[in-house]
Structures are given as C-alpha cells and as structure tokens.
Amino acid sequence: MSKKISVSKAIREGLHEEMVRDDKMFIMGEDMAVMGNVFAITTGFLDEFGPNRVIDTPISEEGFMGMAVGAAMRGMHPCVELMYDDFVTECADPLFNQAAKLKYMSGGQCSIPLVLRMPMGSGRRNAGQHSQSLEGMVCHFPGLKVVAPCTAEDAKGLIKAALRDPDPVVVMEHKLLYARKEEIPDGEYITPIGEAKVRREGKDLTIISWSREVNFAMEAAETLAQEGIDVEVLDLRTLVPVDWEAIRKSVSKTHNVIIVSEEVKRGSYAGELSAEIGEELFDELDAPVERVCGLNIVSPFSPVLEDQNFPHPADIVKAVKRVLNK
C-alpha cells in the first residue's frame, strides 16, 4: 500500500515518527515551534511534544548549533534546522570543527548523534544570501555524513535513517522539492545511508546527480530517448559516504558520464566526483567526464537571471550530446 504526499509532508512524517519513538530526540531552530517552521513542516509539534522538545531559537546559528553539539555529547538526539543552508557559515566551528571531529579526537568514546537539516537551492527568488547549494563545502569535512534526497519516499526514509545514526548527518533538502507530491509506502521504513539508486536504466551514458537535479536529469533522459539516446540516471541520495560501487557499475556499463549539480561549478562536489572517476575509472571512459553545474556567480534576485543560474533539462540534453558527439 502507498499514499501520495508532498516532500515536506514526508519529512514531517519522518520527524514525527522519530519524535514519538525516541524521547531523547528534540528539534530546534528559528521559527520551529510557535510558527511551525517557515515551510510548515513542524506545525503542531509544539502542542504535542512541548517546549522542551520543540525549541524556538534566537537568530544565532553558532549559539544553537553549539548547544546541539553539547546535547549530543550528553546523550540527547538533537535535530537542528537552519532556515537556509547559506547560514551554515554562521555555525562553522561547532559543526565542522567540533561535531565532525569529536568522535575521532575522543578515540571513539564520544558519539555525536546530531542531525542538521538544511533547506537549499535556487528558484525561489531569494537572492544571493538565501539560494546557495553548498554540498562541496559540507562534504569537504571528514566526520560528517551528507544526504540529499530527491523524492518524497527518500526524504522520509533518509531523515529517519539520519536520526538513528550515531554520527552527525547533514540532510540537504531542496526548497523547490517541498511541494512536489509523490507516492510513498505506508507504514514505517528506512532508506539506508550510503546507497545510491538507479532511477532509469540506460546504456549510452550515465548521468550522476542528486536532489532536484535528478528530476531534471529524468526529463532530459526522456527527451534524449526520443532521439535514440539511451541514458542511465543514477541518483546518489547519499553524498558522504558515496556509493562508489554503484558509480563503478554504471560507468563500467555506459563508459560515458556527466555529473549534474545545482552548485556553483568552481569547487563543487561535482568536481570531486569527476576527479575520483577520472582517477579510479579512467580505463572505462570513452570521453572525459563533463560537469553541468551552476554558474560561478552570486545567485541573482531577478527571475529571468536566476533561471539561467542553474542547470535545466535542456542544458543536460546539450551536455549529453556533446559527450557523445551527437
């Protein structure tokens, strides 16, 4: 049995189920309690779970992230939300220098079961300080697990997996996916961290992507199929630890790769994947790996300009044809 709900409702279900299951879990962030989150994900949680487990914070990301790290060290299970992923720069020390490193630096004596939810991405006309995709930055730091779902099913399954993980997990949620409605299974389920999923089988070229761009890759694949080009779409779902076996298997089948990401191209996680594929799977490639990413600019406020700032299905189609010399 299944049901059709939005991505935001799927995340809400995952959070609610884990709040009921685990009395050590609490959620915190700006406007999370009284307002119920700016995307209405936690509406009603304050009434059900009370102010000790649903906490409105001051506009002080470094402060409440530090509080969450301390709570995790003491055995609690905090789930923190940044209103936008752009604000991760405000809490860099407690996240990157403390949460990511304390298990290693304590010789495994101190686990940090902390989840950080970060709405990300362009397309809402939020301008330069509220529209970034910072996967490359977050994935750089050893000690953090990073997931980026594209479907409602995985949005729920991965948030539940993250909340049960003994290590810090960053959940990157694209803001323009929240309203997308899709079928998800009834009942409880978990999407394992570290497992990619082939969304479409193909033999001519592999598109590797995650989050919202997976949907664009699927649209591009359907367009290309009408021209006789058979593309495989691999949804990573988890960025760290990446499912290298799934990448190896797909690249070894198609021998051509493009990586599609909404990030700014310079310093992107797409660039890291491209380098790894070039190093480890060079003999499998018929052509160089190509990246299809956002432009190296500050995200514009102008709707017309912003829509030129990140890859669309037509950009992916052009890239596939370039790689295949079509």
Task: Give the residue numbers annotated as catalytic, written as ranges.
Answer: 61, 130
Please give, one letter per residue, the 3-state secondary structure of 13-75.
HHHHHHHHHCCCEEEEECCCCCCCCCCCCCCCHHHHHCCCCEEECCCCHHHHHHHHHHHHHCC
Question: By the 8 A CB rule, do 116 and 162 touch?
Answer: no
Question: By the 8 A CB rule, do 216 and 268 touch?
Answer: no
Residue of 267, 263, 274 whose CA lies nearest to 310: 263
Q: At how many degrees (to 10) do helices 7-21 and 152-163 cross?
A: 30
**Parallel, antiparallel or unpaired: strands 54-56 and 25-29:** parallel
Residue of 257, 261, 302, 262 whose CA lies nearest to 281: 257
321: tokens are 């044809």
Q: What is the tally of helices (H) and strands (E) in the chain? A: 12, 14
